[in-house]
Structure 1
Amino acid sequence: MEWALAIPRLQTSTRLKDLWFGPKGSLLNDLKKDFEDRFGFIRFTRLYYGQEFCEKAISGKEDMKKALYLSEEEGMNFTCVTPYVTEKGLTKVKVLLSQLAKERPESEVVINDWGVLDWIIDEQLTFTPILGRLLNKVLRDPRIPKNLMNSSNSEKTHYFQTSCLAGLGMKNLLDQYSVKRIELDHPPQGLDPELLDWGYQTSLYLPFGVVTTGRLCLIQSWGVEVKDKFRSSSRCDQKCLPYWLEMTDLSGRVRKNADWELMQKGNTIFYRLSRESVAKAIDSADSTGVNRIVFQPEPL
């Protein structure tokens, strides 16, 4: 199993020195023990760097250079992560990847926008493209009933474990773009037991997964004039970096679940798997042929 460490921005690069930050009994500390009990000493051989969910948080060239230096210093391969974008965001991604092509042309690039993938191919860049988890449309909805997740009807459950990426048409399309690897979350209904038959190499993110994301950001709207709230064109002071919102549903449609916690950070809603659920996810990864774990101490 290959282990990658995800650093969404340069400010979190301290994770390279203290990967399991947290008091004794915290989730990260517990996961360290569980991982090492199972795999022995965990050596991270790849650095995932970049913003997956918001074009306003795309790093500049200088920050990326520092991240490249850090990966070299730690002896880690480099993967640049990119978000879904507007035309303005696409321009920022082009600048960043053009610089990366000069500095580290053999890098991987995680792509969550078809326009970015198309541009990389058009420019004949030598990156290894990876299809990001936002383009993998497996349902990750916390409203999925428990009786469906635990259904004895395997055909019904399997329907919710798969996506268009399992189809031959999509596989043929991605082959044309030289995409051999796809990124996964561990959804509440579990990974597809036939994942190997999809025909890709696969990476699994832990302990966070994505429920949904979008260009409008609740946290960006805090403290601004009413006329400027929920506008994608508004200036962003990145209040999402220090703040999280723990989420509950008073209507009862999203029941409390011991397997995961829901939270919002920035423009994206995440779930954080419990210690027990991470163990199940690792078991599932082993049985379905996942060959890379992307450890994500924080999601954004």
Structure 2
Amino acid sequence: MQLHQLEYFVAVADALSFTAGARNLHVVQSAVSAAVRQLEKELGAELFVRYGRRIRLTPEGEALLPHARSILAQTEAARDAVDAVHDVVRGTVVLGTLTHVGPIDTVSVLSRLSEQHPGVVVKLRQTTAGTRSSLENVRSGVLDLAIVASPAESVPGIALTPLHTEPIVFICPKEHRLAGATQIRLEDLADERFIDFPEGWGNRMVVEAAFAAAGAERTVQTEVVGFEMAVELVSRGFGVAFVAASALTSADDSVWSIPTRLEWRMQLARSSARPPTQAESVVVRAFEEAASQGAGVGLKRHEKR
């Protein structure tokens, strides 16, 4: 059993596609297919069930996957130990991120990382499925790190590093009955048409929990995956919404925003089942530094209303 066989197997398992797995590894598909076939031969078991171009893991493949991830992680740790002797940091980090990360300038963070640690390669994957999906992918090893909007301070199997917290505000059109108000009660919003994010997104989790705690109900009529779209729809009278304060700018003068006690909590997630690699650690530190430099940006934007 060779390390590259396990690496190819994990890549295919993550993508559930030989073509996509090979593409992610920058390897020709024939090499990936041959390595997986050889691994299956050595183990005496099929690892994937093939349905034409579609595949899924067999029970044997499911059993092998966590061990393959562990072996690859231990190999990376061994490389880190050797590199540390020469004060070198290198490695690949698969980083999940959200469509909006508040005051954190992700592009600038990655640019500085590239300059300071040229041996660290960050593969950025922007989620369209939200925080819940990102946490599952970190736990399973599909992602090494992920910026998430988890409302929880702790999550089983996950180590969370706080990055940024800002208010969540209620917004409505300037012509709305609540325009001009300075506070709201959730119980008074039962008849409103809400624009929100899909289930599993961190900001929606916060709002749903607040309504449940207040014993109130609401109707989500429209789902979006971007704060900008939510603000635009509200401004055009399609409904009301709860958004992160940093999603509003001084140019958003067609909506009225009302402060709430709800908070949007940005955190960096990694698996707690293994120690971080050196490459992951420098990525975490880079985002912590960026977050500390951008502290308060969301609140300042909200005050401009």
Q: Could you tell me the TM-score, scaled by structure 1's length?
A: 0.23
More helix by share: 2
Structure number with bigger Rg: 2
More strand by share: 2
Q: Could you tell me the TM-score, scaled by structure 2's length?
A: 0.23
